[in-house]
Structure 1
Amino acid sequence: MPSRLADEANYLAYAAGWGLVKRLPEPVARRLFAGLGDYAARRRGPRVQRLEANLRRVRPKATDAELTELVRLGMRSYMRYWLESFRLPVWSKDRIRTSFAPQHVERLDQNIEAGRGVVFALPHMANWDLAGAWVVARGLEFTTVAERLKPEKLFDRFVAYREGLGMEVLPLTGGAATMALLARRLRKGGLVCLVGDRDLSESGIEVSFMDEATRMPAGPAALAVGTGAALLPVSLWFDGENPVMQGMVHEEIEVPRTGTRKEKIAAMTQSLADVWAEAIKEHPQDWHMLSRYWLADLDPRREPRG
């Protein structure tokens, strides 16, 4: 019973966000959510403490004062993600197109124009929903996956929200069927977008990230190996109070010429981790990782380095 009540409260909170926040004047909404971020950082609840511990890995030489400020900026960035996501359904296509300014978009366009599929692989940085809406506003279709949430109606609400922005959304729990459908989209020259910096299941690929072990999903690399699609890492960040989000489409991670399929996937996943690590070091406040991430934090027998 307590679990069901918590799930219902969670759903009502998100429903209120989608229903009310988009009706507020934008300057009021931005001040409100910035204030909520500052309040959460001062309160230092469990998830904020986890964000602080994660950011300590990213900036190990930061003083306590610098880390405190980084956490405050991180919570402001996290709340900006939610503010913009709640308001995205009422943004015009022109507003969406002008709210994101990524570098090296030609790396996407050249592959799509040549009829080659593309896997966009992103970490939990800045606002990945806005990036997806921007892709759609440019006239491209793409497919993504969504993790199942509790209660089920909250998952359905998130799927409806993203489909309303023009995305094709598949359930992460679809397993082989989901992967097969993603592969079909890629073989037809389509675009697949996957958030891929966290996978703590036993099926994830163990990688070194910030000089410590964690797991990342094999999906992005496996799809590229299996279909010949281009694997393009993407990073996102907010430029202070600038309303325009920034981003980078990084160079393609190519399939190694030698090795087994498993070895190729592992090597490409490590390359993804390396690209994202550098991007997160440059913009740590925009990495929204408020949960346990490194294996040492999940298994007390594994000690972190340094």
Structure 2
Amino acid sequence: MVDKLLVFVARHASSLPEGLVRALFLLAANVMWLFGIGGERQLERNIAHVLAARDGRRPARREVRRVARRGMRSYFTYFSEAMTLEARDDATLAARVRGTGHFLDAIREDAAKGSVPAALGHQGNWDYAGFWSRDHLMPVTTVAEKLSNEDLLRAFIEIRERAGISILTTHTPGLTDKLKDVLRGQEHRLVPLLADRDLSHHGEFVHAFDSVIRVARGPATLCFDLKMPLYTVNVYRERLHGERRRKAHTRWGYVIDISGRVDPADFEGMEREEALRAISQAWVDQWAPLVEEHPEDWHMLQPVFLEDMDRSRLGAVPDDIRRLFDNAPVGA
């Protein structure tokens, strides 16, 4: 049902009032939060980890519920915006997004010289981030998860391509080699990968939020194999005011925070597998603090923490993580 709604909105974006679309999606978010459906309970579990790590204490149930409600509303706002992206003109989108971060100047300098890989999480609105990069850094080539609903997948791809984002899917043969070809090519491209959740079951275990999560190997692989600096990106919402709010036609915009840079030279001399794990840990260390600052914008409705992992589906677990895993209660 939700898939059909998303496809319908995407196909009729130009004729649907944005306020109406946003209101309907927020209603759906409130219903899912209220009844704990659609991954909402898992979102609460993930948020609880983040809040505990941030505050050094176990969060109260009421606090988790409050942040989870904002999280569901943030997530469904993303869908309403993504599905109607092509109906917004460039001036409106430009008012909704801005770049910042300690490494913003550095990524601009590297972008002037060649292509750049980046790691980011399921935060904020990554489609708006791709639009921002097109105008302020370079065009984007990225990877989208292969969905079982072909109509929905096609709708997402078409929307992103119209925004200047080139898309490969997770089931593309030789995906990593294709990404390397893009980064080696003459055209300068940003290759940002949503990597805070591993879809292959062969990702890297890293420490985050006083626990362990498993992240995709893609960013570390591109960084190490191509000897390219890897940038860490966080995307989160901010309230708009004044002239910018008037131009954006909404109360909320997004910040693209270039929050870190991993230098491959720091890992020279390591065995490849050791380096991939170390690079993965490095970008996660740069990324996690801003998730703690904006937990409501981390759209993670799937199990990612050690305590929630399916033990029967794990393979190639390092000894140190295996010891932690063996001592972790199931469904803690």
TM-score by length of 2: 0.82
- Residue equivalent to 2:89: 92
Q: Distance in 1 between matches of 2:13 and 2:165?
A: 22
**1:304–1:74: structure 2 CA closer, same or farther, 3 Å change rule?**
farther
Query: Aligned to 2:234, what secondary structure does the other structure show?
Result: strand
Instruction: Specify the alignment match of 2:115 in structure 1.
Output: 117
Contact 2:120 2:232 in 1 (8 A): yes
Counterpart check, 1:76 vs 2:65: no
For 1:36, the equivalent position in structure 2 comes to 28
Q: Tell me the matched-pair count.
A: 296
**Which letter does structure 2 place at the counterpart of 1:169?**
I
Aligned partner of 1:285 in structure 2 is 296
Deviation for aligned residue 1:48: 0.7
Gaps of 5+ in 2: 53-57, 241-250, 312-324
Which amino acid letter does the alignment assign opposite residue 17 of structure 2? Answer: P
Match of 1:185 among 179, 182, 202: 182
Structure-2 change in CA distance of 1:12 and 1:32 (3 Å): closer
**Alignment correspondent of 2:262:** 253
- Say if 1:140 and 1:201 are closer, same or farther in 2 by CA, change over 3 A: closer
Contact 2:213/2:304 (<8 A) preserved:
yes
Cα displacement string for residues 236-256 of structure 1 (whole angstroms, at most 9, x for unaligned residues):
111247422113102311122
Contact 1:97 1:138 in 2 (8 A): no
Shift of 1:219: 0.7
Deviations 1:137-175 (A, max 9, x none): 447222111121113333223222211221111121224
CA contact (8 A) 2:40 2:301 kept: yes
User: How many angstroms apart in 2 are the aligned matches of 1:47 and 1:299?
Assistant: 16
In the other structure, the counterpart of 2:126 is: 128
Q: Is the 8 A contact 2:18 2:84 kept in 1?
A: no
For structure 1, the 5+ residue unaligned runs are 1-8
Letter in 2 for 1:224: C
Q: Which residue of 1 aligns with 2:168?
A: 170
Which amino acid in 1 is paired with 2:159? Y
Equivalent positions of 1:8-87 (< 5 A) are 9=1, 11-20=3-12, 22-45=14-37, 47-60=39-52, 61-87=58-84
SS of residue matched to 1:168:
strand
Deviates more, 1:30-39 or 1:95-104: 30-39
Equivalent AA in structure 1 for residue 256 of structure 2: G
SS at structure 2 position matched to 1:235: strand
Q: Deviations over 1:94-135 (max 9, x none)?
A: 22222111204322211011x232112110001011101222
| Counterpart contact for 1:186–1:229, Cα < 8 Å | no
Change in 2 beyond 3 A, CA 1:137/1:219: same
Runs of 4 or more off by more than 4 Å in structure 1? none
What corresponds to 1:269 in structure 2? 280
The answer on whether the counterparts of 1:117 and 1:230 sit within 8 Å (CA) in structure 2 is: no
Please give the alpha-carbon distance, in whole angstroms, between the structure 1 residues aligned to 2:262 and 2:168.
24
Other-structure match for 1:5: none
Q: Which residue number corresponds to residue 226 of structure 1? A: 225
8 Å Cα contact 2:13-2:87 kept in structure 1: no
What is the CA distance between 1:264 and its match in structure 2? 1.3
Name the residue aligned to 1:243: 252
- The answer to whether the 8 A contact 1:232-1:252 is kept is yes
Q: Quote the offset at 1:28 in angstroms.
A: 3.5
How far apart are the structure 1 equivalents of 2:69 and 2:97? 23
Contact 1:144 1:193 in 2 (8 A): yes
Among candidates 285, 294, 297, match of residue 305 of structure 2: 294
Letter in 2 for 1:141: P
TM superposition shift of 1:20 = 4.5
Task: Work out the percentage of aligned pairs sharing the same amino acid.
Answer: 28
Letter in 1 for 2:109: Q
Q: In terms of mean alpha carbon deviation, does 192-201 or 137-146 score higher?
A: 137-146
Report if the CA contact (8 A) 2:233-2:260 is conserved.
no
When residues 251 and 295 of structure 1 are mapped into structure 2, their CA distance, relative to the original with a 3 A threshold, is: closer
Q: TM-score, normalised by structure 1?
A: 0.89
1:27 positional shift: 3.4
Q: Distance between the aligned counterparts of 1:304 and 1:212, measured in 2?
A: 13
When structure 1 is superposed on structure 2, of 118-127 and 189-198 the one drifting more is 189-198
Question: Separation in 1 of the partners of 2:5 and 2:106?
Answer: 39
